[in-house]
Chains A and B, each alone.
Chain A
Amino acid sequence: MRRNYQLFVLLFPIVFWLVCFFLLPLLSVFIYSFLERGTYGGVRWIFTTENYGRLFDGLYLGILWRSVSTALVCTAVCLLLGYPFAYYLARYRPKHRNILLLLVVVPFWTNFLIRTYAWILILRTEGLLNSLLGSVFPNWSPLELLNTPLAVQIGLVYGYLPFMILPLYAALEQLDMSLLEAAQDLGASPRRAFWHVTVPLSLPGILAGSMLVFIPTVGAFLTPDLLGGGKVSYIGNVIERQFKTARDWPFGSALSFMLMGIVLVGTILYFRALQGREDSQAP
Chain B
Amino acid sequence: MKRILEANLGLVFFFLYVPILAVVVFSFNSGEQISVWEGFTLGWYAKLFEDAALWRACRNSLIVAGVATAVSTFIGTTAALAIERYRFRLRTVLTRCLYLPIIIPDIVLAIALLTFYVQTPIPLGLASVIIAHCVFNVAYVTIVVRARLQGYDSTLEEAARDLGANEWQTFWRITFPLIAPGIIGGALLAFTLSIDDFVVTFFTAGVGYTTLSVHIYSQLKFGITPKLNAISTMLLANSIVFILLFLWFQGGATDSRRGDA
Contacts and interface: CB of A to CB of B under 8 A. Distances in A.
A263 to B, nearest CB: 6
B5 A218 contact: no
B107 A84 contact: no
B198 A222 contact: yes
B63 interface: no
A121 B78 contact: no
A119 B18 CA distance: 10
Interface residues on B, range: 35 or more
A113 interface: yes
Q: How large is the interface on A (under 10, 10 to 19, 20 to 34, 35 or more residues)?
A: 35 or more
Contacts of B203: 243
Interface of A is mostly: helix
A175 B36 CA distance: 47
Contacts of A165: 12
Contact of A243 (B16, B98, B109, B114): B114
B240 A106 contact: yes
Contacts of B113: 21, 25
Interface in A100-155: 100, 102-107, 109-115, 117-122, 124, 126-128, 131
B135 A6 contact: no
Contact of A42 (B75, B79, B118, B198): B118
B78 A10 contact: yes
A26 to B, nearest CB: 5
B106 A111 contact: no
Contact of A161 (B16, B109, B138): B16
Interface stretch (A12-20, A179-187, A199-207): A12-20
Contacts, number: 216
B6 interface: yes
Contact of B8 (A15, A85, A220): A85
Contacts of A10: 78-79, 81-82, 86
B156 interface: no
A243 B20 contact: no
A17 to B, nearest CB: 6
A12 to B, nearest CB: 8
B142 A14 contact: yes
Contacts of A220: 105
Nearest to A32: B115
A21 B142 CA distance: 17
The 3 closest A-B pairs by CB, nearest first: A219-B105, A118-B19, A25-B116
Interface of A: 3, 6-7, 9-11, 13-15, 17-18, 21-22, 24-26, 28-29, 32, 42, 81-82, 84-85, 87-89, 100, 102-107, 109-115, 117-122, 124, 126-128, 131, 158, 161-162, 165, 215-216, 218-222, 226, 236, 239-240, 243, 249, 252-253, 256, 259-260, 263, 267
12 contacts: A14-B75, A17-B75, A17-B134, A21-B131, A21-B132, A24-B116, A85-B12, A105-B247, A106-B240, A113-B217, A121-B26, A124-B35
